[in-house]
Structure 1
Amino acid sequence: MIIEEAFQTGQKHAVLDGYTIDFKEGIQISNNDRSKQHPVKRITCSIDDHPVREERFTYTPISPKQPFAGRYGWISPFIRATVKHLNITKENLPSKDATVIPMIVEKAADGIIQEGKKIEKQREAEWIAKMLREKQHASMKEVWKSCAYLYSLEGFLYKKMNETMRLIGDKDYEQDWRDKVPTLGPFCLLLWDNPASYKTTKQGTILYRGAKLSDELVSMFKEDCKKKRKNKPIRSFQSFTSCSRDSAVAEILYLVLYSSP
């Protein structure tokens, strides 16, 4: 989107993290070594041209001991920790109290920039922050739409968010995810606090999610299924994990398929 925005506004170049696009010459140039150049071409794509992105379903460079956590109720520990960090109450959530929206949006933008700098994605992070700040004084509905859009883009943000939140439930990595609350927490809160969340999914709808699991974890799930109903543990996925209503999509990349009615 950074490239397209620069092109549509008539700029001669689009400067990204790592390389620059020269629209006139139609080339990509490394920011570190100008001798490294590649031809580029602008084409129009449809939604069918985009393959299923594996990271949307699972992205875990740090592997927790298990891909799920226990039952934490409707609110994730990451969201609870963020609310505490921001010193707000459930009555001050942005969907209920519009006065806190500018503050949370600003903290979300700052946090994203901080995270981007750590992984050499500063330009991308600054662009995301700019888009988010444009909605700083809008309604929560508009802010949420912007957050959902930014989260859905291909980039570091959704990967870093899910990498962090999937550590919840593993005591070995508890401090790791808690350290990300000040930087990623505000954006996660804005994305989680959907003002239209009262609209339920049509009864009977089944959502699918695929995963790559070790034989040990597969055996763990099998043992859970054998237990009597009252003794079965409740499992939860703590990140904003993508699902699909098409089981074939989830099956493309993974060996294990979860379904949730």
Structure 2
Amino acid sequence: MWQWRQSPSNEWQNYSDIETAIIEDVYNRYGNRVELEDNVVVDLKQGLHINNANKKKNEKAAEIRRLSPDCDDAEAFRNRRQRNDRFCSAPKMEQNTNANSPLGAANWNGSQFVFEWQMKCPNLESLPYGDIMRQALEGIRQEGREIGLEKQAQWIVDHFMPVTKESFENICQACIRLYTMEGFVYRVLNTTLRDNNLSKIDTLGPLCYLLFQFNFAPELQNLCYTGRVYRSAELT
């Protein structure tokens, strides 16, 4: 886990899971420099987080640190999975639209998005899951490019592409890992599904389809979690 802070009086800020993976890859290869999005450079040799966009403001470079299970700040490492932005966002209240979904959408638990993508794939039954995974990765590449996170999107493609040659179970588990990583993928996907933005069927439909496969494929039910889940909310 990697963090940065502007000064000793500021709290440590976490890099996203994808940014951390990019930094860790370079660190493990004994590299000295990592270029991230938004003109951010991580200097591993000097231990600095440099935002080149803020040079005109004469802001000093921030310090960085790497946390591990045996680090001095064990509490910070234990709390590394607290992701308030993901799980505590304001809920969007909507009416149940299942009754208005197209015929057949109920077969996908009311997900019109997945149903519409399925309807665009006449050869879906004979399409290998590895090919669907490749489509999903290409869609993520396009989505990342559109929001200026091409480096993160490319890391995802490079990291997960080998999975396309593995089993159906491994492909589905890789999609779960990808969706649960702190990064842009879940944000784009959640927004798309909440808004039922059918314009993104080609880019995000394959990933949604594979995620649904994990949830409902009988042979994968032993991997699914069954239990009570709590959602927090800020009351005013």
TM over 0.5: yes
Report if aligned partners of 2:130, 2:171 keep a CA contact under 8 Å in 1. Answer: no
Distance across 2 between alignment mates of 1:40 and 1:131: 24
- Displacement, 1:12? 1.4
State the match for 1:73 in structure 2.
106
State the match for 1:100 in structure 2.
128
Name the amino acid aligned to 1:162: N
Long gaps (5+) in structure 2: 1-20, 69-75, 100-104
Alpha-carbon RMSD across the aligned residues, in angstroms, is: 2.7
Look up the SS of the partner of 2:176 in the other structure. Answer: helix
Given the superposition, is the C-alpha separation of residues 198 and 41 from structure 1 closer, same or farther in structure 2, using an over 3 Å criterion? closer
- Displacement, 1:149? 0.9
Long gaps (5+) in structure 1: 169-176, 208-243, 256-261
State the match for 1:16 in structure 2.
36
State the match for 1:40 in structure 2.
64
Distance across 2 between alignment mates of 1:140 and 1:9: 31
- Displacement, 1:74? 4.5
Q: Render the CA deviation track for 1:182-218: whole Å, top value 9, x for unaligned.
A: 011111112221144444765xx4x3xxxxxxxxxxx
- Displacement, 1:68? 4.9
Name the amino acid aligned to 2:206: P
Name the amino acid aligned to 1:191: L
State the match for 2:8 in structure 1.
none
- Structure number with greater CO (CA < 8 Å, separation at least 6) is 1
Which of 81, 84, 88 is the equivalent residue of 1:53? 84
Aligned pair 1:142/2:175, yes or no?
A: no
Look up the SS of the partner of 1:24 in the other structure. Answer: coil
Distance across 2 between alignment mates of 1:201 and 1:23: 39
Look up the SS of the partner of 1:144 in the other structure. Answer: helix
Look up the SS of the partner of 2:155 in the other structure. Answer: helix
State the match for 1:236 in structure 2.
none
State the match for 1:237 in structure 2.
none
Give the TM-score, by structure 2 length. Answer: 0.71
Report if aligned partners of 2:133, 2:207 keep a CA contact under 8 Å in 1. Answer: yes
Report if aligned partners of 1:79, 1:189 keep a CA contact under 8 Å in 2. Answer: yes
Look up the SS of the partner of 1:166 in the other structure. Answer: helix
State the match for 2:208 in structure 1.
188
Kindly indicate which of the two structures has a greater share of residues assigned to helix: 2
- 1:122-133 to 2 correspondences below 5 Å: 122-133=150-161
Look up the SS of the partner of 1:179 in the other structure. Answer: helix
Name the amino acid aligned to 2:81: H
Name the amino acid aligned to 1:135: V
Given the superposition, is the C-alpha separation of residues 74 and 167 from structure 1 closer, same or farther in structure 2, using an over 3 Å criterion? same
Runs of 4+ in 1 over 6 A off after TM superposition: none
- Displacement, 1:85? 2.5
- 1:155-166 to 2 correspondences below 5 Å: 155-166=183-194
